[in-house]
Amino acid sequence: MAELKRFKKFRDVMSEVEKKGAAVYKNPVGTSDLVVLSPYNIKYIHSYAQDSDFFLGLAKGKLLGSECKNCHHRYATPRSHCMECGSETKWFRLPLQGKVHSWTTCYFGSEEFLKETPFNLALVEFEGVDTLLLSRLDGVKQDQAFIGMKVKAEFRKKPRYLISDVHFVPVGGKKTRR
């Protein structure tokens, strides 16, 4: 396809720009386009604010959910206020075992996670809890994962204070290391 051929040429120019900082692209439309490298790095000072206890909990091997003080809706992913009635929630301990509500195996990903592919994502459901938790599902290959599979939480030994401090593995499966 013409589009793919054209882009292949431009991709070569992108590589040259990454190496040398600038390159001129002889565009098939007849122009000469100057393309330059333009880096942009940021370090945010980010507060987990009202969700802080959840992340501190992960570091201690605890999974904390939110329960509405008024209507008792129970959230597996924390929210300080109930989306059903608007009331404040309180923390409760989530079970460390649940079931796969849905899952996938990612063969590509964002640049940051590309080196970790392939990896599994799962939405985990917990008995008596109204919403789900998104997590990595380790220790199982694509052809063995299924909806309804029983899974348990494992925690990172050295916390990074990220949601990825917890991941899930099949119940009865081999222990995975992080």
Partner 1 sequence: MATGRKVYVISGGVTKFAKAHPEMDFRLMVKRAYDYAMKDVPALKTSDIESSRISYFSDHFARQLKAASMVQDFLGLNPKDSRRIEWGGATGGQAIQAGWETVASGRNDVCLVAGFETMSHVRTWKGNEFIALASDTNFDYPVGGFYTGYYALMVQRHIYEYLRKRKFGRIKDELKAQHAATEEAKRIMAMVSVKNHVNALHNPYAQYPVKLTMKEAVGGEMIAWPLNRPSVCTMSDGAAVTILASEDVAYKYTDHPVLISGVGCGTDTMRLADRPHGKVPLFPWETAEYYADLEYPGVHSFRAGRTAALEAYKNAGIKDPKEELDFVELHDAYASSEIQTYEDIGLCRYGEGYDFVDLGSPFLKGMDYGLDLPRKGEMPVNPSGGLIACGHPVGATGIMQGVFAFWQLQGTIGKHFGNDRLQVRDAKRGLIHSHAGTGSSVTVTIMERA
Identify residues 53-72 at the interface with partner 1 (CB under 8 A).
none
Identify residues 6-45 at the interface with partner 1 (CB under 8 A).
6-7, 10, 13-14, 25, 27, 29, 31, 33, 35, 38, 40
Strands 74-75 and 89-93 come out as unpaired
Instruction: Work out whether 168 is an interface residue with partner 1 (CB under 8 A).
Output: no
Q: Which stretch binds partner 1 (CB under 8 A): 88-96, 97-105, 150-158, 169-177?
A: 97-105
Residues that bind partner 1 (CB under 8 A): 1, 3, 6-7, 10, 13-14, 25, 27, 29, 31, 33, 35, 38, 40, 48, 51, 75-77, 79, 83, 101-114, 116, 119, 121-123, 130-136, 142-144, 146-148, 162-164
